[in-house]
Structure formats: C-alpha cells, structure tokens
Amino acid sequence: CGLYEVGALPSGERTEQGICRIVVKAPTPGATSRIGLMVNFLTPEAYNGTGGKSLYDFTSVGGRSTRVSLDRPQSLSVASAESNGFYEQMFLPWLRREGIQVECFADLDLDESASLALAYDLIVMVGHHEYWTREMRDHLDAFVLSGGNLAVLSGNTCFRQVRLEGPTRRNVVCY
C-alpha cells in the first residue's frame, strides 16, 4: 500500500499537463500498521483549474464553478503544495526515515466506509484538508468518540462542506 504519483517526468520534474495521485489501500486496513495517513483529494480538486474551472476564481477561466470533477489530472498551474495537496508526498519520506510504518487511505475512502477509520488507533492528516463531505466528518467523529486518536498537522481543516454527486459520486459540489 502507499501513495504514488503518475505523470511526472523521469527527472522528477512536474509538467504543466498535470499529474495523477493514486492511493493503494491495504487489503485489510490496520493489518500492517495501526496508523492511517489520510491522503487529501477533495481540497486539491477544489483548487484544480484543469479544464478551465475550479471552485475558486483565481484558478478558473470566466469565474468559479460550484461543481468540479474528480476525474481530471491535478493542475500544477498554481505551483504550491498548499493548493495542490502534496503534503503527504513530503511527509512520507520523513516517516520512513523515522521507522514509522503507516497505511495510506484517501479521504474519499473515509467518505465511503464508516468502518475504515476504526481499523486504526491513530489517523494522521497533514496539509490542507479544507473540503469534507458530511459522511467523512461523521465517520471521523465516530472514530474519535470511540477512543481513536487523531493528529491534525494542518490548518484550515474541515472548513467547507461538499457533496459527491453523479452515478459514481465523482462530481464535487460546493455552494
């Protein structure tokens, strides 16, 4: 399991065409580590201007949208970790150097599964987890209320509520 980036140049330089991040979850959450690292996908997509629109004016052409798709590469036109959500890529090497084993899962996985969080003793979030679905918040609240530990190493956490729509729930809607 882990976090992977697809679309980078061999030298490791990122292109303006964008990249895609992929999280491979553990087949059995909690089996190899009792620490889960929640990888942020919703907030980067809110800022992602690929295709001309994001949830923000400054990364949109002709004004912001209230609906964006999760099915597009991550734009790198706003070149900062804050808006592109790459804090996990910077945090994972430190964890490895310290000998701390973690299992990665996507924030979208938490949206889909109430039991996912319960597989861990500790959930860690790094970066800018601004956008959440109601289900994500409810599932994480239940985890903490059941005695789970949460390390939030970020700011602007859980600031905006979104919902997922469409037959595959791949459209992010925020008003």
pLDDT in tens, 61-110: 999 999 999 998 876 554 444 445 578 988 999 999 999 999 999 999 99
Compute the distance between CA of residue 68 and CA of residue 173 in angstroms, rounded to an integer: 7
**Residue 154, pLDDT score:** 87
If we measure between CA atoms, which residue out of 62, 26, 65, 29 comes closest to residue 47? 65
What per-residue confidence (pLDDT) applies to 81? 45
Output the pLDDT for position 18.
67
Can you list the residues of the chain whose pLDDT is less than 50?
A: 78-83
* Alpha carbon distance, N-terminus to C-terminus of the chain: 34
Q: For position 128, what pLDDT does the model report?
A: 87
CB 3 within 8 A of CB 21: yes
pTM across the whole model: 0.88
Residue 170 pLDDT:
94
109-123 burial string, b = 16+ CB within 10 Å, else e? bbbebeebbbbbeeb
Helices of type H across the chain: 42-47, 81-84, 87-97, 107-112, 134-145
